[in-house]
Chain A
Amino acid sequence: MLGTNLNHIESASSLEKTINENENVMVCCGRMGPMCLPVYDVMENLEDKYEDVKFFDMEFDNPEAAIIRNLPECRSFQGLPFVVYYKNGKVAKATSSIQNKDEVKAILNDKFGTPE
């Protein structure tokens, strides 16, 4: 389990349940490394502002994370973390490597709508 303050997803079935039960879900699949930590921090900061979005992390080295690692949208990814945005259970956007707050917000606003 990752040592972040986010909610964790630990199994493929839990991820599937989460994305099927929630309209907007952002999952950051990474390690406790320097490219991933800033993204977790951004997510922790945005959690309160985007009430319609559920924010989770998933440990990249967990075998169950193959559900993210093997997504067609992540096929060409070569940098951690893999971040996947799900809308109504489907992948709406996926990014590779470090992203700053503005980049994350731009995707959230585009795919899930700007918070009021």
Chain B
Amino acid sequence: MKKYDTIIIGAGPAGLTAGIYLARAKRSVLIIDSGSAGGQMILTHKIANYPGVLDISGYELANNMKKQAKSFGCKILSSSDITKLDIAGKEKFIQVDGEDDFSADSVIIATGGEPRSLGLDSEKKFKGKGISYCATCDGDFFQDKDIVVIGGGNSALEEAVSLTKYASSVTIVHQFDHFQGYEHAIREAQDHPKIKIILESDVEEFIGDESLTSVRIKSNKDGSTQDLNVTGGFIFIGYIPRTSVFKDILDINNRGEILVDSDLKTNVKGVFAAGDVIEKKVRQVTTAVSDGSVAALGVIDFLNSH
């Protein structure tokens, strides 16, 4: 079993920043992520509000952070699933699929969030055959086609507008009677001649044989249904914190966010949490980086005093 001073679960901006701070403080650090290093940041086409960097792709910024963390000695295991977790005691134990077992004196949870799915069987069936989660990636497959965008936040509204470059029509379906996005994003979508809007409705089913041909929509007002003939469905219905494995160990609120104090300590001694996974209002790369540094400094204090 390999022992580290700190194991960081999650290699997004919070986790990588924490790794950089800890490794520079000469602490041994293992960072584990079930996906790619960089987290949701790599999904961002362009980042223009990260101070000191004029303009950079999310992938490039993530890659720089990853290289920086490695250069200070962090060990990073990406695409690695945790199969066993015991972090309640003084020594923390973590088992990773296909790797060694690891232990540490402290843990930082920076698992971030994952895109919320509709949870329909038909959503899975048509993934890549009509259903998409990325307008930039897959928009050009829908040139002159009718498509539907599901969601009512900033991502849904902005992606709907961007998809009008390709599609002949874009219908936004949203479950509530109003949008949750910024006023300018709402206005841009509402005013666009190619965009139609259906509020207070949910997608009940995606329909087709080999690929998507229509979407069944159910009104939340009167329960009536209608089928929209579309060949594309883009889903942007927000993110949920990745905390299910911690629910029996840590204090978590009803939205699945981990509760922490101002030093980002959780209710378990030696376990800190940082980034999008904690209870907070603003979720940006900059705030995740801030959390990562606060958590790392808290861990250094903790390690020095124990």
State the A residues within 8 Å of B (CB). 31-38, 41-42, 44-46, 49, 76-80, 95-98, 100-102
Contact (Cβ within 8 A) A100 B35 = yes
Write the nearest CB–CB distance from B128 to chain A, whole angstroms: 3
Contact A97-B127, Cβ < 8 Å, known A38-B35, A80-B137: yes
Contact (Cβ within 8 A) A79 B132 = yes
Contact (Cβ within 8 A) B137 A45 = no
Q: Is the interface of A mostly helix, strand, loop or mixed?
A: loop
CB-defined contacts of B210 to chain A, threshold 8 Å:
76
Binds A, one of B77-85, B185-193, B239-247, B259-267: B77-85
CB-defined contacts of B64 to chain A, threshold 8 Å:
none
CB-defined contacts of B232 to chain A, threshold 8 Å:
78
Contact (Cβ within 8 A) A76 B133 = no
CB-based nearest B residue for A39: B36
Q: Is the interface of B mostly helix, strand, loop or mixed?
A: loop
CB-defined contacts of A31 to chain B, threshold 8 Å:
137
Number of residue pairs across A and B with beta carbons under 8 Å? 82
Contact A35-B137, Cβ < 8 Å, known A76-B211, A97-B127: yes
CB-based nearest B residue for A45: B79
Contact (Cβ within 8 A) B127 A37 = no
State the B residues within 8 Å of A (CB). 34-38, 42-44, 58-59, 78-81, 98, 127-134, 136-138, 141-142, 210-211, 231-232
B35, B129, B133, B142: the one contacting A35 at CB < 8 Å is B133
Write the nearest CB–CB distance from B296 to chain A, whole angstroms: 24
Bound-complex Cα distance A41 to B35 (A): 8
CB-based nearest A residue for B77: A45
A36, A42, A77, A96: the one contacting B79 at CB < 8 Å is A42
CB-defined contacts of A34 to chain B, threshold 8 Å:
42-44, 58-59, 134, 136-137
Contact (Cβ within 8 A) B129 A49 = no
Residue pairs across A and B with Cβ atoms less than 8 A apart, 16 shown, are A31-B137, A33-B136, A33-B137, A34-B43, A34-B58, A34-B136, A35-B137, A35-B138, A37-B42, A38-B35, A41-B36, A76-B210, A78-B141, A80-B134, A97-B128, A101-B34
CB-defined contacts of B128 to chain A, threshold 8 Å:
77-79, 95-98
Write the nearest CB–CB distance from B46 to chain A, whole angstroms: 12
A36, A37, A49, A80: the one contacting B98 at CB < 8 Å is A49
Contact A78-B138, Cβ < 8 Å, known A32-B59, A96-B128: yes
